[in-house]
Amino acid sequence: MKTNLVINLRPRNPWEAADLGLVLVRRWWPQLYLIWFLSSFLLFLVALLVVGPVWAAAVVWWVKPLLERPLLFFLGRAVFNNPPEVVETLRAFPGLLKTQWFSWLTWRRFSLSRSFLQPIGQLEGMNGKARGERIRVLRNDSVSSWLTIILLHLESALIFSFYGLIMLFMPADSWEFGTELISGEAEWIQACLVYLVIGIVAPCYVSCGFCLYLNRRIWLEGWDIEQGFRRILTKRSSFAMVILLAVISVSSINSTPAMASTPEEAREDILRVIESEDFHQIEVQKYPDFLENWSFDWDWLDDSKDKGADLEIASVLEIFLWVVALAAVVWLVYQGWLLMKIRSPSELFSDRQELATTVAGLNIREDSLPENVTVQVESLLQDGDVRAALALLYRASLSRLVGRYGLRLLAGYTEGDCLGVVKGSAQPDLYGYFSQLTQLWIQAAYGHRLPDITDIHQLLPLWSAHFEPLKNLSQEG
């Protein structure tokens, strides 16, 4: 991974990551807006001449997923401190249109997560089943969808603001033109305003979605940790590295913990980190109730009535509310379809769910475990292989949590995520056992500090009490 990034690699809150996208727009706004308008103006001009001003802006809006690709091409290189020239980006534009163009203009066109999903196909080159699996791994929230909704409302607000600005500077005796502008008679000006607003918002939309994508990969792949080690290797001389390795070797021989004076304090520190808010973020979403008991008056559509040039503002607002309600229904249907796509109907409506086979990179299949786990753990402890014994006990516990207790553990879960699922199962004894085991496993796997054999011996009776009756229960069932 390259280290000459222009951003500070660290895990961020999704909304903070979206704000980082606006920072990137402020940094490269001349290039981004020049790329957008140069790549889209010809299409807008041809649409004006062929289909007229009414549909010209609609054509540009519909083709936005393709017009956003040059912006993503530029940002994907600029974030590594290698921004391409505008001419180079425009030359690459035709090649960017060769893949997945049909899907993004048809069934994916109304995807609310487009800004987040575009990099998967364009930058990672994934398509088909591989793309679907990649989306399952990366997607974990609805921030990208809300980003689309917020910027869509921003576009609407900008359009009405431009209308108001034009009417504000018109002479007092020219209100007839303002009425024509709002009522839709000034089609050419309206088309140009819509095209301008789309161009203002598009770089912000692409950049924010791209930063959401980067932030999710930082969380999953630990880019910040890798860059930290690379920075250390770069800044330190070879002599200093030899001294550092020597200190690490001496520290590994010495059993004194580096971050805690006693094993008990180390356990308390690990438990405090695991149970902190960073491992247990709760997101609460509230939706307003739809308006009820109101009717729509269709008389204003009757051309036989002479209404003059006055615009019925109440009717316009009523139409707007209907559009918002219809959009909300479409969004709810889309979210339901998305849920059905991510989780199969058997997972949603069946009492028996498909069991996970790999969690946190560990194989938890029942056939990968020995017939008698406690005996095998005792044997490994007698041979002095403490880490293997602890790994076997942790894998067996995860396997039983899925197989016996039916807890839903995903392949991408970390140790803290698994502990949070157990905590939510409302079984204090099971949580107490698994929290102790998780502390020892994290201490050994990441802190390279093996626990005492007596600590593992103390967990074996608890493991037997919670998990040994699995076969008996299956036979009785």
- Per residue in 140-162, pLDDT (tens digit) is 778 888 999 999 999 989 988 88
Round to whole Å and give the CA distance between 43 and 4: 36
User: Residue 262 has which token pair?
Assistant: 């006693």
Task: Please indicate, yes or no, if residue 296 is contained in any of the structural domains.
Answer: no
The pLDDT assigned to 311 comes to 47
User: Residue 86 has which token pair?
Assistant: 């505008």
Which of 64-78, 83-97, 195-209, 372-386 is least confident? 372-386
- Same-domain pairing of 342 and 438: no
- Same-domain pairing of 47 and 86: yes
Round to whole Å and give the CA distance between 211 and 206: 9
- Same-domain pairing of 342 and 362: no
pLDDT of 345 over the 60 cut: no
- Same-domain pairing of 18 and 82: yes
Round to whole Å and give the CA distance between 375 and 379: 6
Task: Please indicate, yes or no, if residue 255 is contained in any of the structural domains.
Answer: yes
pLDDT in tens, 350-402: 444 455 677 766 777 887 888 888 888 888 888 888 888 888 888 888 888 88
Task: Please indicate, yes or no, if residue 299 is contained in any of the structural domains.
Answer: no
User: Residue 425 has which token pair?
Assistant: 């199962």
Residue range of the domain that includes 430: 358-476
- The answer to whether residues 367 and 329 touch, using CB atoms and an 8 Å cutoff, is no
- CB neighbour burial string for 121-160, b if at least 16 within 10 angstroms, e if fewer: bbeeebeeeebeebbeebbeebbbbbbbeebeeebeebbe
Residue scoring higher pLDDT (56 or 289): 56
Task: Please indicate, yes or no, if residue 231 is contained in any of the structural domains.
Answer: no
CB atoms within 10 A of CB 96: 17
Number of domains in the chain: 4
141: nearest Cα among 237, 36, 233, 13: 13
Task: Please indicate, yes or no, if residue 290 is contained in any of the structural domains.
Answer: no
- Same-domain pairing of 163 and 259: no
- Same-domain pairing of 263 and 192: no
Q: The pTM is what?
A: 0.49
- Same-domain pairing of 317 and 454: no
Round to whole Å and give the CA distance between 260 and 265: 6
- Same-domain pairing of 85 and 122: yes
Round to whole Å and give the CA distance between 69 and 185: 34
- Same-domain pairing of 90 and 143: yes
16: nearest Cα among 184, 214, 176: 214
Question: Where residue 245 falls among pLDDT bands split at 50, 70, 90?
Answer: low
Average pLDDT, the chain: 76
Residues in CB range of 23: below 8 A, 6 or more apart:
none
Residue scoring higher pLDDT (473 or 439): 439
Task: Please indicate, yes or no, if residue 105 is contained in any of the structural domains.
Answer: yes
pLDDT of 203 over the 50 cut: yes
Helices (H), 139-262: 143-168, 175-183, 187-221, 223-235, 238-253
Mean pLDDT for 395-410 is 81
DSSP, res 362 = E
CB atoms within 10 A of CB 279: 14
- Same-domain pairing of 377 and 409: yes
CB atoms within 10 A of CB 329: 11
Task: Please indicate, yes or no, if residue 39 is contained in any of the structural domains.
Answer: yes
- Same-domain pairing of 158 and 82: yes
- Same-domain pairing of 71 and 192: yes
Element (H, E) at 266: helix 263-274
User: Residue 198 has which token pair?
Assistant: 């789309």
